[in-house]
Structures are given as C-alpha cells and as structure tokens.
Structure 1
Amino acid sequence: MLKPQNSPTRELINLDGLYRFQVDHEQAGIRDGWQNSTLDTTLEMGVPASYNDVFTDPAIREHVGYVWYQRQVRVPRGWSEERIHLRLDSATHSGKVFVNEILVAEHSGGYTPFSADITEHVTAGEEFRLTIAVNNELTQATIPPGSVTVLEDGRRKQRYLHDFYNYSGLHRSVWLYSTPTAHIEDVTVVTDFEGKRGSVGYRIDLVGGSGIEQVTVRILDADGNEVGGAAGAEGTAEIPDVELWQPGMGYLYTMVVEVVEEGSVVDSYSQPFGVRRVEVQGKQLLINGEPFYFTGFGMHEDHVTIGKGHSNAQMINDFQLLKWTGANSFRTSHYPYAEEVMDFADRHGIVVIDETAAVGLNAAFAGFFGEGGKKTYAEDFVNEETAASHRQAITELIARDKNHPSVVLWSIANEPDVTEEGARTYFEPLAALTRKLDPTRPVGFVNEVRGTPNEDKVADLFDVIMLNRYYGWYVHTGDLASAEQALEKELREWDQKYGRPIIITEYGADTLPGLHSLYDQPWSEEYQTALLDMYHRVFDRVEAVTGEQVWNFADFQTSYGIIRVDGNKKGAFTRDRKPKSAAHTLRRRWTEIPNRKPGASRP
C-alpha cells in the first residue's frame, strides 16, 4: 500500500481545501444520485478535518449517516499517457467515491487509505466532478463496532462502546496522482544486521507490465550516497558499514526502486527505511539487541475544532511536547494514525506501538455507556462479520505501516473481553494472521482489568503483556495505599504466570486543571501527580515491567454523559496543550530514565 509521491516518473497533486458540503439528513443521497449533479447546498467544509465541531447546527454535529463532499478537479494536460489515480488517506468510517456519475471506489474502515484507477473516466487537461459520500455509522459488522437506533421522533442515534467521540468526515488528505502504465504497486522491506553489515530483504510488486521489465534497487544513505544495490523484483541488498535506526536516533536510508524496459527507466519509487531488529527475549523487548523501556503516552488524534483532522503544525507541536516530557514512545490508541505521524516518528527515532481500530469489543462496558448487558461473542454483537472486518483492519494496517522502522509492536485490539469462552476462538486466528503478514515484529493486544491472570483466556497467544490499569481511580478511588498493594500484587502474578515483558499501556486519573488540594482528593492536580508517583514506585520494583505509557497525552472529547464533563480529563496536558502538574512530574522522571532497563532502580 504505497504512499503516493512525486518521482522522476510520477506526479502528485494534493486535493485538500474547501469542498461543497451537504448533510444527508433523510438518507436520500445514494437513492437519488446526488453525485450526478452539483450538490444543492450553500455549506462548505474544509478537508482535512472532522465536520462535527465546525458548524453551529447541533443536527450536523450529531448526524448519523452520510455527508457529501464535492469539488471540481482538473487533470494536468501532461498526463495523457499516464495512469491516473485518486487516493483518500481515510474516510471515517466508510466512503464512496464518484468521478462524475461513476462510482470508482468504496471502502469500509475509517483510518486506512484506499484508491482507484480513474484513467478510463477522465481526460488529461479537462475537469471532472469529484463527489465523496462519507458515512459515520458503526454496526456490529464494523471495526470499531456499534449500533444505530431510530428514536420515536425519527432521529437516528449512534451507540458505541468506546470512550472517545465519534468524529467523522475526511480526516486526512485527498490526492490525485499519476503512474506509468507499468508501475510499482508495492514495496516490502525487511532489515537485519550482523555486526556492521546490514541486510535489506525486499520484494517489489509490479502491475501493468508486459513481463520483459527488469527491476533494480539502489540503497542511498542519509546524505544521498549509494551504499548498496541489487537486481530483481525480490532479493537482498547489503550495506557494508550500516548505521542503525535506534530510539532517539532515527537514521533512515532510501531504497530507490527502478523499473527498466529496453534500457529506459519507466517507473521509479523511493522508499525510506531504517535498519533495525526487534525481538522479545524473556522479560525484555530488545531493539537492536538492547533492552528498551517504553516511556510515553497513549494518545488521540483530537484537537479543538478540527476533531480528528490531521494538521502538520499541530502534529509537530505534539511531538515537541513528547520530547519536552522525555517520552520515547506512544501508542496509536485506538486506531492507525495519519501516515505523516508515522513518517515523523521514523525520522526522529520515536518508538510506536501501532494499533488497529478494534476498540469496544467488550459487552461488559455496555452499562458504562448506558446500555443493558449482553454477551460479547454472540450473533448480535461480536460475530463472524466483526471478525471479517477485524481481519481487514489488521491486513490494511500492516500493508500500510510495514516499512516504518518506528513501529516495533502490533496491537490488534484495545480492551476486548478476554474472559468469555468465545474469546480464544475469536483471537487465535487473528494473532496467527498478524504473524503471517509480518513475522518480524511482536504481536500483542491491550488487556482491561477484568482480564486478570486467572481469567484471561488469550494472553499466551501473544508476545507481550499490555495492561490498562486504573488502581487508585476506578478501583480503590482515593486510596493510594490500597491501590499500590493491589497493583503490585497483580503485576507479580502476571510475571509469575507468563514471564514476559509487561507494558503498562494506560494508567492515570481524571484531573481538572487548577483544582488543588492538600489531601488525596480525586480530580485535583496533586492527586494525579501522587497517583503517577505511586505507579512508578511499583514499576521500579517489578522486573518484568518494560514500559509505562500514561493515559492520556492530552484531554480529549468523548460522547456526552454523566461520567464525562466536556470529555476525558486524564491528560497530562489540557486539550489545548497546556501542561498540568503531572506533565512536569513525568518530565522529571522520564528525562532521568530515557531508556531504563527493566529491574533497574530509579536514579
């Protein structure tokens, strides 16, 4: 799943900006063929962005169903001999793409890209009407799952079992790009090293060729010097004096792939990559043979006004704050992030736990979100349709992010129910699929508190133990002494049973900025800091703990309800990125232990 680029044989045009925008309140657009003419609306909407917080009309914010985007696009006149493609970096949660009246692409899954070859439907030098219908509905067949109910007054209400707002729209960029007829469809890079010699295994997938094309690869270092190469669509190139990609030092090489026919280059694509090795040995996760200790956050793509819309400026600010705290990692909770985020992490040596959008696979949360109880693994909830969407989500995540050196661990689900009998039947083939698609990285899922070492039925299928734990907040609220005992007891039970690396992927407490107390008062800044300090004491005493990622990096928006006041307030930073006291506490700890080895005492 190659990211489009400009190259000696390709051209790329960004289609971000203002689009005509129409909300399909009556769910009539598909039936009535809205793509066949100019949308009947005076509204405009910016891309990329969520639409929910942009407009003042609450009926738009809470709309369930399709919204429509439209604009005119001119194909460059020089593309008459090229293949012409459209690519959407995402459409949350599903999209239909029309060129004039023709449906050219449709996709379900709100956080991964999809594209269409539109050569037969457009003409170089002329305009076409681009219309995109985006649907935000979640059902038991989607990842994440949900349900839609129709109220007595006809309004449609979306229900879901995850604790972040269901922002919708075109959250990432839209592209028009060209390729030659015979072109590179995919590049897969797998690296290793022995001493100072690096090896770069590769596979190149071609389409549209006659079969006589030849493939060559050249390896360029960060200064553009050629340091290796090979011939053939599949093989291994060597780098004699390799510079490794390491946490905090994101050294990248470039593989220049060229397709040659009768002595001429007919297609060229440049794939950045880093040389590094990831493995699990005993209770340690090793990067390049060295134990790595995760410090950082679970995060969200969430900003004021634009919701989940990607912004390069705000991305850089978030990475600056990560650096300021001393964090060396983050988890893409709870969905794949924009590719620009992954590229930035590659360049700057930030370690990533990459997660699918499989959140909310847990009927036990139904009461938390205002629904009656049900079984998780059942025909009316997590069923074979859900599993099919989950397989698609894993496949597309790995296809998109497999070449990113920053990605060291796949997380295939967040807080699923792992206590029911159906859990193992559901997750065993998913773990196997993940390893088949990428045997080079560890595989895990994130466990919630009911999945204790004695109750969890799937942990042995995975390479690491990832735990979300809220002792002192949801359990033993306000009693940090009891919380400390309970936390350490459970971590030691995990260690004794599995002897695997334990990463605490969530811990924290909701905090109102500016609320202070002399006592252990929940919601105060002092309590959040005291709770984090308690967790850190426990982590330092348990050898198997190999990482700590606070929930959350910043406050974020959630659905309405009495358990949330304008969103989740567990952030170390406010939603507009102002530091709470906890941010300074984490900075003091993490700048002292940028890569503390498991079991070592705190400096």
Structure 2
Amino acid sequence: MRSVLKLLLVTGCLSAAWAQDDQAPGQTMVVPAAGAGVAPAAVTKQPPTLHNIYGRTHLLLDGRWNYIVDPYEAGYYNYRHQPFDQSATGSGGFYDDRKPKDKTEAVEYSFDGSPTLAIPGDWNSQNAKLENYEGTVWMRQQFQAAPKDGKHYFLYFGAVNYEAHVYLNGKKVGSHKGGFTPFQFEVTGRLLKGQNTVIVKADNTRHQDDIPTLNTDWWNYGGITRDVLLAETPDTYIADYQIQLAKGDMGRIEGYVQMTGAQRSQDVTITIPEAGVKATVHTGADGRATVGIPLTKNKMRYWSPEDPKLYTVTIAGATDKLNDRIGFRTIETRGQDLLLNGKSVFLRGVSLHDENPLIPGRLRGEGDMRMMLQWAKEMNCNYVRLAHYPHSEEMIRLADEMGILVWAEVPVYWTISWEKPEVYANASQQLTDLVTRDRNRASVIIWSIGNETPVSDARNVFMGKLADTVRSLDHTRLVAAALEVHRKGNEVTVEDPLSDKIDLASFNEYAGWYWSDNKEMLKFSFKVNYNKPVVISEFGADALGGLHADDDTRWSEEYQDLLYKNQFKMLDAIPGLRGTTPWVLTDFRSPRRPHPYYQDFWNRKGLISETGKKKLAFYTMKAYYDQKQQQYK
C-alpha cells in the first residue's frame, strides 16, 4: 500500500529559465546547491532514478500548472542571447517568477495571470493554438511542503518531452534530455517549509542529433506528459533492486539489492509470504548484496497471460522498507522455439502508441491505458509492442495485472546520427533508464533497441553496443530490434549483421501496401536466414474507418481486411513463426500523413478507428489469434 501525502495546491504560475548546460544528451544533470548561476563545468551527472517510485512516501504535484508560451526563449536569454541562469547573479529569467515591486516597475511576464494546463498532459491537445507548436513552454506549480530532518527528498518526473530544465524556488536543480524516460533531482536542503514553487522549461523542438531524430511518424506532443512527484526517503534507503526468477531456472530467484546512504552496510530481508520465501542478505560497503533464493517445489504460481499472478514482495533493512507486486516467470528461446515458463508460446500481439484516439493527446491515466489494453485483449492478444518509445510505468504495471506480455522499446528510430558519441550516449542512457524502471515487471519479456534502422557499418557498431548494454543490465529477458527486410525478385530476405546480437528474427514488412498489392503479394515468400524464433514486428495497411468498397480499392476496410488474410497465408509458411504484432491497434495522429480525405494527419493503419469503431480486419485478426491459441494450448 503506497503512502501518498495530500497535496495542497496554491493558485499560481510557472516560470523557469533554461541554461545551455554542457551535458551529454539523454543524461540527467544536477546543479549543486551552492550558487544561483552555475557554470556548465559545475554540473554533474545525477544518480539513477529511484526504483519503485510509487511505493514510496510521496507528494503528487499533478494538477493545474500555469504556463507561458515562449517561442523566442525570452525567459531564458537576454537580448544578447546570453543565458540568464549563467550570469553572475543567476537571475533575470522567467524562473525568478518576479512580481513588480510597485507600479513603477515593468515585468514582461506573469504566471499569476497566465492560463493553466492539466499535468500530466501535453500542450498540443489542450490549446488549439498550440496544436502544431514546437518550442519552449514554461510551466509553474506551487505546493506546500514540510521537510523533515534526516530525510532525503527527490523531485521526480515520469517524462517531459523533450528537453527539461527544472527550477525550485528560483534556483536551477538540473536538466534532462529524453522525452519518454523518468528523471529526478535530489532537492534535500532546497525545500522550504510552507510554500514552494517548481518551474519547468520544456522544449519539444526536434533535432537531428536527438533520440528520436527529426523524422518520426507520430505526433510530437510537448510538455510534462507523466506524473510529477516529490518523493521522501530515509537517510539510508533502498535505491534499487531486482527480484526475478533466474534465467532458465524456475526453481530459483536471483537478483540484488542496492542501499544508498551512510548506513548502507546492513542486513536486508526479502520476504514473499504467500510463496513461503524469506531470506536475509548483507549489503557490503558499497551497499550492494547479491540475492539467490532456492524455491520450494510447487510453492509458486508462475506468471502468465492465463494466470497473471502477482506476489507481494517486501524488502526490508534496518533503515528502509519497500513493498512491490512482482510476478515470476521465465522467457527463453530454444532454436526457433519461444518458451514461456518452459512451454512453447505464440505471441498473439499488436503494436500501439501512447495516445488516446478518442481524446487528443497522450494517454492520461489508468482509464485510458486500461481501455487500450482491453481492446487488445478483445482481439485475443496475449502480447503488445509498446512502440516506439518507453510507455509509462503505469502502463507496464497494468500489463502485469491484466496478463499481457510486453515488447518495450527505445526511440532509436529510422536514421540516427550513428557516428556521434553523444548520440550513442543519449540512446544508451534512455535504454538504461527503461531497464532500470521496469526490470521487475513480469510482463516485459523483450527489450527492443530500435526500429527500422538501415544497415551500415556505423549503425552496426551503434546498435551492437546497445545490445551489449541491455544484456549487461538484465540478462533474464530477450533482446530484439524491428529489422528491415530486403526484396530480391519475389523473395523477401531477412539479412542483418545485428541478428548476431539479438534473440529474435524480428522484422517489419508491408507486403500489399508499400510494395505489391492484394493480387500480387501472395507471389512473395520469406527467407529468414537465422535459427531463431520469427516475430513479425509490423505489417498492415491503411483503411479509413467506415469506407467500404471492393477489396481492390485502397483505403477501404475491405482492402485492409483482404491484406490481413493474405498476410496469414504468407506468414504461416515461415518456419519458426512465433508471433506477430500488426501495425497498429488504433489510428493515431501523424504530421507525415497529410492526405485531406483519407488521412487528415492521421495514420489510418489502426484496426480500430479514431472514433473507437472496430474495422473489419480487427475481427479477422481475432479469428487468426483464436486459431493460434488452440494450436498452442
């Protein structure tokens, strides 16, 4: 049971000024407490985010935040384009949240008089004027706090797209790049007793050297899109842990516990009462202890889509205690077979975006997320590909609860600046943050390191290093990427040097849509040159919901439906086929899709329309999955 402090909101606005820190993209940088204007050299890397943030005592800072749109970044730069927060005084920007001292003083901004946004939430869907806006928006929240001696406090953000600069009570606490991963700043000693003001400068401008890069096929929603928390920990606390079944061994739990603080060397007890598990480990001088617990035979129910059993796990030391809900299962490959808890499984999946088709914007909370996952279950899915970036922790925990396997991905998407070390650092950090957050979630069986990345020497090195990184962080799950295919005559081949680094022969193919058509596509066959399970990570066709015609007419539901039926004939002929995730569950918004009638800036490959209506292919897909379920019973 998580402890939540009641938030006392105070009407107000947000102002923050942003300084160009000399940081490696994708990393979270924290500003030392001393001094208002801190030079870039004084900025240091922040430790990893707290694991199981919702299991800690915390103050939820969601709600209505005042905002100021700042396309020229006047709140950050002076008229000579010099950052205010790198000046001698560190003041002068919007983050000061200044009020005129009297009627003689002119202040050219006001949070108190500005409108508000619902946070979490993107600005594009909340103000028609901002629908296509890319740039800087300042957001402010005011809250009451009562910091205690002997406690640590962390300002935690579930996600801000894309670049965030954060100020507390007029002082910068740090910055972060990456639109879909969590980050935090320790604010112990910075909190005031009584009213506090947090100001965020968020900038969703796309850049070639960011992750993702300039070119994407989804809407670039800007803002604070996930929860904001003020978390409290003891002086010495549990910073991280992994409690999972050993790789390929259903009779043993393995992992570690990491303590941080002055008393980090101590006994820590792991208990799972319902499974009869109790074990004590001792953390060393570095605060770390390895966990290895043999299980009594027949004492544990293994997590699966058919039985998504979650156990209450308690990790308790002398100074801190955490509860988590964890499922236990194994996932592995054996030749072309895919084994869940030692049994062959077919991944009956679908891809989906972190977007509600019915209400513009990112998924706003449990109701939106549960709706999307329930739609997948109605199609008899046991699996989803969460594309093309990390979705929220809440979505992953819902998948745990609802019994849905997950492919989790980072936005290394299409063509990246492969040769630049800082771009790799960004991608590697986002992957690390994803694994750190979700390594105890039973639903996550696949870490995906990218989507449709064209083969080149530089790309092969970049992606190969990502594969090595994820294995060093978690060796209990599978590593994959959505590869491209190549056509030679009527043969579609899967040939990619990255295949040596990943566990699945997983690839996207669009027979019948981007190449061939419904009449010719069945002349093609697939050649997969790897003795690995085959997972088709994407296939599909656009269909405008409600448009009916013959099955030769593109954009019609009938064309999409026949394409799906033909796909099944093609794909079932592939030896080792062990899963599909057609593109995509629902229609979603995309600036790349301008056709005024068929698209209107929507990608129409959804099996469900933007009005929530199921297209013909939805039922065809369900029938296919019903048959696969019987086959793999």
Q: Does 1:433 align with 2:469?
A: yes
Q: Give 2:208's aligned residue.
A: 140
Q: Give 1:105's aligned residue.
A: 174
Q: Does 1:121 align with 2:158?
A: no
CA shift, 1:3, in A, is 4.4
Confirm or deny: 8 A CA contact 1:172 1:309 kept in the other structure. Answer: no
* Amino acid corresponding to residue 49 of structure 1 in structure 2: G
CA shift, 1:484, in A, is 1.9
- The one of 242, 245, 269 equivalent to 2:303 is 245
CA–CA distance in structure 1, aligned partners of residues 270 and 254 of structure 2 = 11
Q: Give 2:380's aligned residue.
A: 326
Q: Does 1:469 align with 2:509?
A: yes
- When residues 134 and 348 of structure 1 are mapped into structure 2, their CA distance, relative to the original with a 3 A threshold, is same
CA shift, 1:440, in A, is 1.6
Secondary structure of 1:551's aligned partner? coil
Q: Does 1:12 align with 2:12?
A: no
Residue by residue, what CA displacement relative to the aligned partner does 1:197-240 show, whole Å, maximum 9, x if unpaired? 7322131111112355322221233xxx7533333232222332
Query: Structure 2 matches for 1:159-178, cutoff 5 A?
Result: 161-178=215-232
Confirm or deny: 8 A CA contact 2:122 2:225 kept in the other structure. Answer: yes
Q: Does 1:256 align with 2:337?
A: no
Q: Give 2:523's aligned residue.
A: 485
Q: Give 2:559's aligned residue.
A: 527
Deviating more after overlay: 162-171 vs 535-544: 535-544
CA–CA distance in structure 1, aligned partners of residues 54 and 497 of structure 2 = 48
CA–CA distance in structure 2, aligned partners of residues 423 and 537 of structure 1 = 33
CA–CA distance in structure 1, aligned partners of residues 199 and 259 of structure 2 = 30
Q: Give 2:141's aligned residue.
A: 71
Confirm or deny: 8 A CA contact 2:543 2:557 kept in the other structure. Answer: yes
Secondary structure of 1:559's aligned partner? coil
Q: Give 2:127's aligned residue.
A: 55
Q: Give 1:345's aligned residue.
A: 399
CA–CA distance in structure 1, aligned partners of residues 364 and 617 of structure 2 = 26
Q: Give 2:29's aligned residue.
A: none
Q: Give 1:401's aligned residue.
A: 438
- The one of 118, 131, 139 equivalent to 1:46 is 118
CA shift, 1:194, in A, is 8.6
- The one of 557, 562, 565 equivalent to 2:589 is 557
Confirm or deny: 8 A CA contact 2:158 2:182 kept in the other structure. Answer: yes
Q: Give 1:388's aligned residue.
A: 425
CA–CA distance in structure 1, aligned partners of residues 166 and 336 of structure 2 = 48
TM-score, with length taken from structure 1: 0.85
Q: Give 1:577's aligned residue.
A: 612
Confirm or deny: 8 A CA contact 1:301 1:310 kept in the other structure. Answer: no
CA shift, 1:579, in A, is 0.9
* Amino acid corresponding to residue 558 of structure 1 in structure 2: S
Residue by residue, what CA displacement relative to the aligned partner does 1:553-577 show, whole Å, maximum 9, x if unpaired? 0000001554543310000001232
Gapped runs of 5+ residues in structure 1? Answer: 147-160, 261-265, 363-375
CA–CA distance in structure 2, aligned partners of residues 193 and 408 of structure 1 = 12
CA shift, 1:455, in A, is 5.5
- The one of 330, 335, 341 equivalent to 1:288 is 341
- When residues 238 and 272 of structure 1 are mapped into structure 2, their CA distance, relative to the original with a 3 A threshold, is farther
CA–CA distance in structure 1, aligned partners of residues 59 and 630 of structure 2 = 41
How big is the alpha-carbon RMSD for the aligned residues of Structure 1 and Structure 2?
Answer: 2.2
Q: Give 1:227's aligned residue.
A: 277
CA shift, 1:6, in A, is 6.6
- The one of 261, 267, 270 equivalent to 1:214 is 267
- When residues 318 and 250 of structure 1 are mapped into structure 2, their CA distance, relative to the original with a 3 A threshold, is same
- When residues 454 and 252 of structure 1 are mapped into structure 2, their CA distance, relative to the original with a 3 A threshold, is closer
Confirm or deny: 8 A CA contact 2:545 2:613 kept in the other structure. Answer: no
Confirm or deny: 8 A CA contact 1:192 1:275 kept in the other structure. Answer: no
Confirm or deny: 8 A CA contact 1:99 1:128 kept in the other structure. Answer: yes
CA shift, 1:25, in A, is 1.4
- When residues 252 and 2 of structure 1 are mapped into structure 2, their CA distance, relative to the original with a 3 A threshold, is farther
Q: Does 1:82 align with 2:138?
A: no
CA–CA distance in structure 2, aligned partners of residues 437 and 308 of structure 1 = 29
CA–CA distance in structure 2, aligned partners of residues 6 and 554 of structure 1 = 29
Confirm or deny: 8 A CA contact 1:54 1:305 kept in the other structure. Answer: no
CA shift, 1:336, in A, is 0.6
Confirm or deny: 8 A CA contact 2:155 2:228 kept in the other structure. Answer: yes
CA shift, 1:413, in A, is 0.2
Secondary structure of 2:370's aligned partner? helix
CA shift, 1:546, in A, is 0.8
CA–CA distance in structure 2, aligned partners of residues 561 and 537 of structure 1 = 29
- When residues 66 and 450 of structure 1 are mapped into structure 2, their CA distance, relative to the original with a 3 A threshold, is farther
Confirm or deny: 8 A CA contact 1:414 1:446 kept in the other structure. Answer: yes
Confirm or deny: 8 A CA contact 2:452 2:483 kept in the other structure. Answer: yes
TM-score, with length taken from structure 2: 0.81
- When residues 214 and 454 of structure 1 are mapped into structure 2, their CA distance, relative to the original with a 3 A threshold, is closer
Q: Does 1:504 align with 2:536?
A: yes
Confirm or deny: 8 A CA contact 1:86 1:117 kept in the other structure. Answer: yes
Q: Give 1:371's aligned residue.
A: none
CA shift, 1:4, in A, is 4.9
Q: Does 1:37 align with 2:97?
A: yes
CA shift, 1:76, in A, is 3.6
- When residues 203 and 504 of structure 1 are mapped into structure 2, their CA distance, relative to the original with a 3 A threshold, is same
Q: Does 1:191 align with 2:245?
A: yes
- When residues 117 and 519 of structure 1 are mapped into structure 2, their CA distance, relative to the original with a 3 A threshold, is closer
Gapped runs of 5+ residues in structure 2? Answer: 1-48, 78-91, 99-108, 283-288
CA shift, 1:335, in A, is 0.3
Secondary structure of 1:69's aligned partner? strand
Residue by residue, what CA displacement relative to the aligned partner does 1:414-435 show, whole Å, maximum 9, x if unpaired? 11112x3333222222221221
Q: Give 1:368's aligned residue.
A: none
